Amino acid sequence: MPVPQPAPRAPRGRVRPSAALGFLLVHAAALLAFAVGVSWEGVLLCAGSYYLRMFAITAGFHRYFAHRTYRLSRVPQLLLAFLGQTAAQKGVLWWAAHHRHHHRYSDQEEDVHSPVQKGFWWSHMGWILADEWAETDLHRVKDLARYPELVWLDRNQFLAPMLYGLLSWVLFGWTGLFWGFFLSTVLLWHGTFAINSVMHVFGKRVFETKDTSRNSFLMALVTMGEGWHNNHHHHPGTAAQGFLWWQADPSWWLLVGGEKLGLVRDLRRVPEPVRAVARARGSWHFSRRPFEKAREAFDSALASWTDRAETLSERWGRARDAARASAGNALADLEAARARTAAQLERQRADYSAALAAFAEASRRRRQRAAALAEIRIEQLRAEIERTARSLVETLERLVAAAEPASPLGSPA
């Protein structure tokens, strides 16, 4: 059966950091369930909490609030909305408004979560964290916005999951909090998100629709009937998504039970002509050629990985150019620093040479001065000695002369 050809990728929104942080923290808390310890109590709490809230999402948010395929009185309507919001998938009106928008533009550029238009992971979980889709468009859910209790509940979207988590902890301790709330919530997220991503890429197409929706028995078991996604996009006006007896749809079975109890009214069933087409095409053995299906899946995955590779290549090129520019600037700075250091060393060497020359000249002058002073002093000492010697000679001569006896007058010769 022909499948709509992928269109060029539509622009994505911008993920809000606060939403992404909260999303990651809940995943981290889910991993702590294994630190608390694996037990049958924890596994049963996780499974029970998962399927209880999955019913509120599939039968409530999806088939009731988004598509209005049956009727409830006001109190059960509010209880179903509250239980659905414990799944922490934002408000009931937000959920219904965006799902109606998805059906109006399924796999077109305006689609909020099309893997064909915006890629697999964006359709799986990126879009729900984006700024562009953060607000509730009440114009798309005017039939629901007339109930003030639903509007209030939608505006206080965190109240229900917080109360549910607190109740899980009060009743079952840490096992209830981490297994019954955090881990089951994360599994519930990805089970629901997989309908937007996986069920537009993998599976079997029974009906020719304008989108790429598919059917999967396994996903129907995981999501209480939502895996019959191609059925649903072919005829979204019915409360049943499994059109044949063997197409497991637990949410539909429970709704039929609620109808018998008088809780559910005007439950819309699958028209017989639609069921006849499904019966003719949807047997266990009906399928397109395996190689064609594998090729489509491979082409889709290859296109996604090609886009990612191109993006990574561009980022690598920018990072490489930036690194080269940074390295060039660093080398230039290093060369300038080397030149400055060399000039500074040269100036210091010249200063030291000048200081040494000045010191040598001063020493030479001091030696010359000292030698001159020494010669003068020697001359002075020599002159002093000569004067002293002459004085001594003169003194001796006088003494000698005084010692000689005088000759008596008239003595004979």
In a domain, 223, yes or no: yes
Q: 106-141, pLDDT tens digit by residue? A: 888 888 888 888 888 888 988 888 877 788 889 999
In a domain, 140, yes or no: yes
Q: 382-406, pLDDT tens digit by residue? A: 888 988 988 888 888 888 888 876 5
Q: Are residues 113 and 216 in the same domain?
A: yes
Q: Are residues 136 and 199 in the same domain?
A: yes
* Non-local CB neighbours of 180 within 8 Å, separated by 6+ positions: 42, 45, 46, 48, 49, 168, 172
Question: What is the pLDDT at residue 408?
Answer: 53
Q: Which of 286, 314, 330 is the last residue of a domain?
A: 286
Q: Are residues 294 and 224 in the same domain?
A: no
Burial bucket for residue 204 (CB in 10 Å: 0-12, 13-18, 19+): middle
Total structural domains in the chain? 2
In a domain, 405, yes or no: no
Q: Are residues 271 and 306 in the same domain?
A: no
Q: Are residues 282 and 233 in the same domain?
A: yes
Q: Are residues 94 and 241 in the same domain?
A: yes
In a domain, 276, yes or no: yes
Contact 204, 230 (CB under 8 A): yes
Compute the average pLDDT of residues 237-251: 94
Cα dihedral sign for 365, 367, 368, 374?
Answer: positive
In a domain, 5, yes or no: no
In a domain, 399, yes or no: no
Q: Which residues pair with 15 in a beta bridge?
A: 130
Question: What is the pLDDT at residue 31?
Answer: 96
Contact 169, 182 (CB under 8 A): no
Tell me the pLDDT of the chain averaged across its residues.
88
Report for 51-60, 278-287, 357-366: range of highest mean pLDDT? 51-60
In a domain, 228, yes or no: yes
**pLDDT of 302 over the 90 cut:** no
Q: Are residues 148 and 295 in the same domain?
A: no
In a domain, 126, yes or no: yes
Flag the least confident range among 2-6, 122-126, 153-157, 334-338.
2-6
- The domain of 246 spans 17-286
Flag the least confident range among 58-72, 147-161, 289-303.
289-303
Q: Are residues 365 and 271 in the same domain?
A: no
Q: Are residues 130 and 68 in the same domain?
A: yes
Question: What is the pLDDT at residue 398?
Answer: 87
Question: What is the pLDDT at residue 8?
Answer: 45
Q: 14-42, pLDDT tens digit by residue? A: 888 888 899 999 999 999 999 999 999 99
Flag the least confident range among 106-120, 204-218, 296-310, 397-411.
397-411
Model-level pTM? 0.66
